Amino acid sequence: MTKQSNGLQDAGPEKGQRLYVYNGGFLTQPRIRRMLTLAGYEIKIGTPSAGDMVGVWGKSPTSPRGEKVADRHDAPILRVEDAFLRSVLPGRSGSEPIGLLLDDKAVHFDSSTPSRLEEILTQTPLDDTAILNRARGAIERIHKAHLSKYNNFDPAHDLPEAGYVLVLDQTRGDASVTYSGANSNTFREMLVFAQQEHPHAKILIKTHPETAAGHREGYFTPSDENDRVTLFTGPVSPYGLMQGAIAVYTVSSTLGFEAIFAGHKPRVFGQPFYAGWGLTQDEHPVDRRQRVLTRAQLFAGAMILYPTWYDPCNDRLCSLEDAIGALEAEVRQWREDRQGYIAMAMRSWKRGHLQKFFGHQRAVRFDDRPKRAAANARHDRRHLMIWAGYADDRIRDAAKHTTLRRVEDGFLRSRGLGANLTPPLSLVADDVGIYYDPRTPSRLEHLIAERQRLSDAEDTRIERLIHKITDARLSKYNLKPDAITLPPRAEGRKCILVPGQVEDDASIRFGTDAISSNAGLLQATREANPDAQILYKPHPDCEVGLRTGGLDQSEALQWADYVIDNADPAVLLDHCDEVSTMTSLMGFEALLRGNKVTCYGVPFYAGWGLTQDMSETPKRRHARPTVAGLAYAALIDYPRYFDPKSGRASPAETIVERLISGDFPAPSRYNRILSKLQGRLASYRWIWTR
């Protein structure tokens, strides 16, 4: 019997339940085998004994093998199926599932007998406020990320003109059709009803993704088209398609389930699991289903309590929310990178990391000649990519007729300095501008403006992430600083931290005006705060001699009370009341910790009403997000994360866990050798600096 607890499913009465299988997929598909193992099942081949179970894949053509063995040996059956959020591509295209449905009663689409899911929807109270709030939050998150069972579509793809009736096709002979009491005649009947009940509307038949991919035939063909009826195969978001529909017709498609959460009451001609709960118009009702459920209750049962979800980065069973995070990262990678890139101005040591981040679909090609790179990008329908600091007018002119993405480190970068060639855990690829250059808009600016209001679920997610970051004292580089004794707080004086910066950094060149040096910043801070206790922290790149901007201690002490070398930024932020900065990321980290921040430049976090701005900020920054909204845009929406342990795209939460635990591979031998070499050649730093 399956058991559910707080959205995590512990399948099997106890670990080590032997499960005999007679379908090769259980043995040859590592992800499925691993999920079953984590759920407590030990996969076996042979003959079951007392206490053993037989595993079959739903009602597939191979399931009768296991059913016969189970009947002969009086063994219970565990029916395994894909969860309702599955993968980027269909299984037949090679994508692995993010979740499974493990049912010891029946398969969910067999309406002839109640499944474990039907028992949940019938008998579980489904009145727990916490679970229902999770359901509402997950529905919203799925919609905003445009997630579906299969996700090989483009949310930006053009949609048909609104006002059509949407008819959902399925794959011919699929068990979910047969065991829902339907056949080819049911699909014909459904199409007739759609035309009769909406005599003046266009009818759009949405083909199944596996049909569009050429794997399996659907029930509808071009012969069904006429002046009102059109087959639609466009790779569009199902939620975008449903927004333009005036009605949705389905037999038993999972898209019918999704239509409920898009605001429809679909007309159902089969007997799928989601029919019979007051949320559908049922042509063939299931008499035993008499309960009326809300959308949140149906979702909670079908998506939180019933499935077994898997976290591929951490190789563990997980909650629905963690599974959504993992799928979001994979889907984003596929959607943004599927056209491929030609990259310019990328140092050799960065190229392997760029392939890991952006070369999952098509290998990144490198070409440092702008005109040729742009011409090849247009010819091959690829995007152009460049390290942001090199995107000058010459590059922008060459890239006029293609998409140019500017690449930079993310705000949770690594354990170690980029100047020491430490591989990044996060990168940004901005198709509008770049976050540190306030002269023009950036993608981050747009995202911050969109996060002026957060939903309850989004607010909960980012607050948890912020607490993890601040509690673990994480920062951009997460170095192992020397143990220091902080100076005592001066009674009656506020304590201000002034973080030093690399003075030739692009954020200083583009984001400052009157004050653009560490000495100038210290002097301005002292003049504005004559009675304050001022602590100056040199930039770590300057401390090790890899970048320009270091101040002699005697010079810094003209305005600062103390110079704090090799100190943990988070410890200093906890010690001080305020931060005074030009454009340092430590200003953002201070906001996360509730510190006051004064900006003498225009970093990405200035101009939103969260900082005291001593320079003029762009008028376009008129939104007023909370710190949580700013953080959501900067830490979740904007960067791409790569988990070096699993070798996968990952959500922000996984990278925070890695930084806390230190559980990721050390830099390659090549990087270590090159890093040591550049340390000895620090005076020639122009070779590796951006």
**pLDDT (tens digit per residue) in 261-299:** 999 999 999 999 999 999 999 999 999 999 999 999 999
Q: Find the helix packing angle between 585-592 and 456-471, rounded to 10°.
A: 110
Mean local confidence (pLDDT), 483-504: 90
Per-residue pLDDT tens digits for 526-558: 999 999 999 999 987 765 555 555 788 999 999
Which phi and psi (to 5°) does residue 245 adopt?
-90, 145
Q: pTM for this structure?
A: 0.92
Closest alpha carbon to 384 in 358, 411, 352, 357: 358
470 near 568, Cβ under 8 Å? no
Residue 689: predicted pLDDT: 42
**Minimum mean pLDDT range among 209-218, 245-254, 418-427:** 418-427
* Tens digit of each residue's pLDDT (9 = 90 or more) over 81-96: 999 999 999 988 889 9
Tokens representing residue 263 in the block: 């605001």
pLDDT value for 14:
66
What one-character DSSP code corresponds to residue 435?
T
Q: What is the mean pLDDT of residues 11-23?
A: 81
| Residue 682, pLDDT above cutoff 50 | no
CA distance 33 to 152: 24
User: Measured between alpha carbons, how far is 206 from 258 in angstroms, rounded to an integer?
Assistant: 14
pLDDT band at 418 (very low <50, low <70, confident <90, very high): low
| CA gap 157, 143 in Å, rounded | 16
Residue 217 has pLDDT above 70, yes or no: yes
Position 679 scores a pLDDT of 42
Percentage, residues of the chain above pLDDT 90: 82
Q: Could you give the dihedral angle defined by the CA atoms of residues 438, 444, 450 and 452, in that order, rounded to the nearest 10 degrees?
A: -70
Q: pLDDT-based confidence at 415, cuts 50/70/90?
A: confident
Please give the helix or strand (H or E) that residue 499 lies within, else none. Answer: strand 495-499
pLDDT at residue 22 tops 90: yes
Separation CA 626–CA 35 (nearest Å): 39
Would the pLDDT of 5 be above 50? no
Mean pLDDT for the stretch of residues 424-451 = 97
What is the pLDDT, as a whole number, of residue 552?
87
Could you give the domains of the chain? 3-123 (3.40.50), 319-449+668-683 (no CATH), 450-638 (3.40.50)
Q: What is the pLDDT of residue 675?
A: 44
Phi/psi at 53 (5° precision): -120, 165
pLDDT of 32 higher than 70 = yes
- pLDDT, one tens digit per residue, over 642-668 is 999 999 999 999 999 999 998 877 665
Give 580-639 pLDDT, tens digit per residue.
Answer: 999 999 999 999 999 999 999 999 999 999 999 999 999 999 999 999 999 999 999 999
At residue 9 the predicted structure's pLDDT band, cuts being 50, 70 and 90, is very low
